[in-house]
Amino acid sequence: MRNKKGDILMENLIFIILNLVFLGILVLFLLNQGNGAIFLERTSAKQISLLIDASPPNSVLKLNFEKPMEIAKDNGIAMEDIIKIDNEKNVVTISLKEKSSYSYHFFNDVEVDSYPNSIYYIITIEEKI
């Protein structure tokens, strides 16, 4: 009779420890997703695409990209490689980590160019010829 009580206690203890380990891993994953490069890649690509769609031709946009630039620098990404714009496909691609990027489509039929300038990214929007 005493042996069964000890087994039940040990099983419950192991179950609780495994649940705590699982919850810890889940919390770390959620913190990494919420504050990391993946979240910034997605929001930045969408916001830049919306800005391009809302801007008239012959516009210049100056975006404060300080936090994404810090993350990219920590991950070994060159400043010029953070924002890539494909004018043939009308796609903005943001890359803040190696082997990670996020692309978003814009609808305006314009020629878009981007380049870094200290903590800012300058985006020029011109009419297509």
11: helix, coil or strand? helix
Task: Compute the distance between CA of residue 39 and CA of residue 66 in angstroms, rounded to an integer.
Answer: 15
Residue 53 included in any domain = yes
> What torsion, rounded to 10 degrees, do the Cα atoms 27, 29, 31, 32 define?
160
Residue 73 included in any domain = yes
pTM confidence score: 0.74
Residue 8 included in any domain = no
Residue 10 included in any domain = no
Residue 71 included in any domain = yes
The enclosing domain of 46 has a CATH number of 2.60.40
3-state helix, strand, coil in the chain (%, to 5): 50, 30, 20
Residue 48 included in any domain = yes
Q: Around Cβ 123, how many Cβ atoms within 10 Å?
A: 21
pLDDT tens digits in sequence order for the chain, 129 residues long? 556 666 778 888 999 999 999 999 999 888 776 667 888 899 999 999 999 999 999 999 999 999 999 888 988 999 999 999 999 999 999 999 888 899 999 998 899 999 998 889 999 999 987
Task: Compute the distance between CA of residue 123 and CA of residue 115 in angstroms, rounded to an integer.
Answer: 7
Domain that holds residue 76: 36-127
- Give the number of domains in the chain: 1
Residue 9 included in any domain = no
Residue 98 included in any domain = yes
The pair of structure tokens assigned to 87 is: 């004018």
